[in-house]
Amino acid sequence: MYRAITGNIEVTVEPFYLEQQSEPDESRYVWAYRVTIINNSEDTVQLQSRYWHITDANGTVEEVRGPGVVGEQPILNPGDSYQYSSGCPLTTPSGIMIGRYQMETQEGQAFEIDIPAFSLDIPGKSRTVN
C-alpha cells in the first residue's frame, strides 16, 4: 500500500497485477489499482480533475489528464472517504505511476493533493528501476 497526505487529505493506492487480462507474449501487461481518498480536514472538498504521470520500464512516459475519476467528481465532507478502482495497461512488465488531484473547497478555493508514487510490478519478478 502506498500513501501520501496533503493538507490533511490522505490518498492511498493499492496496485494489483491482472494476469488474466495480460498477454506477455504480445507485450501487454495490465494492472488495476484501488485508490482511497480520506478527508481528514475541516473543509468539505470536491475532486475536480486528475493528472497521472505513467512511466514504463523503458522510460516511456504517458501523461493522462481529465475531469474527475471514473466519471465522478466526488464531494467529501470532513471525515468522509471515497474509494474507486481503475486500471493501467503497459507494454513492459513493470512501471511506475504518480499523480495529483485538483480539489476545490466549498468556497471555491482550488488546491492540489498528491497521489503517491507506486510501482507496477509482476509478482515474483525482480523490480526494474525506472
Q: What is the pLDDT of residues 20-42, one digit of tens each?
A: 999 999 999 999 999 999 999 99
CB-side exposure of 118: number of CA atoms within 13 Å? 24
Condensed to tens digits (0 to 9), the pLDDT of residues 37-84 reads 999 999 999 999 999 999 999 999 999 999 999 999 999 999 999 999
DSSP helix/strand/coil, 24? helix
CA–CA dist 58, 117 (Å, integer): 17
pLDDT of residue 88: 96
Instruction: Label each residue of 21-67 as H, E or C.
Output: HCEHHHCEEEEEEEEEEEECCCCCEEEEEEEEEEEECCCCEEEEEEE
Please give the model's pTM, rounded to 2 decimal places. Answer: 0.92
Class of domain 2-121: mainly beta
The answer to whether residues 120 and 90 touch, using CB atoms and an 8 Å cutoff, is yes
Question: pLDDT exceeding 90 applies to what percent of the chain?
Answer: 94
Mean pLDDT estimate for the chain: 95
Q: What is the pLDDT averaged over residues 79-103? A: 97
Q: Is the pLDDT of residue 126 over 90?
A: no
The answer to whether residues 33 and 85 touch, using CB atoms and an 8 Å cutoff, is yes
β-pair partners for 99: 52, 115
Q: Is the pLDDT of residue 129 over 70?
A: no
β-pair partners for 33: 15, 86
Cell numbers representing residue 17 in the block: 497485477
b/e string for 41-50 if b means 16 or more Cβ within 10 A? bebebebebb
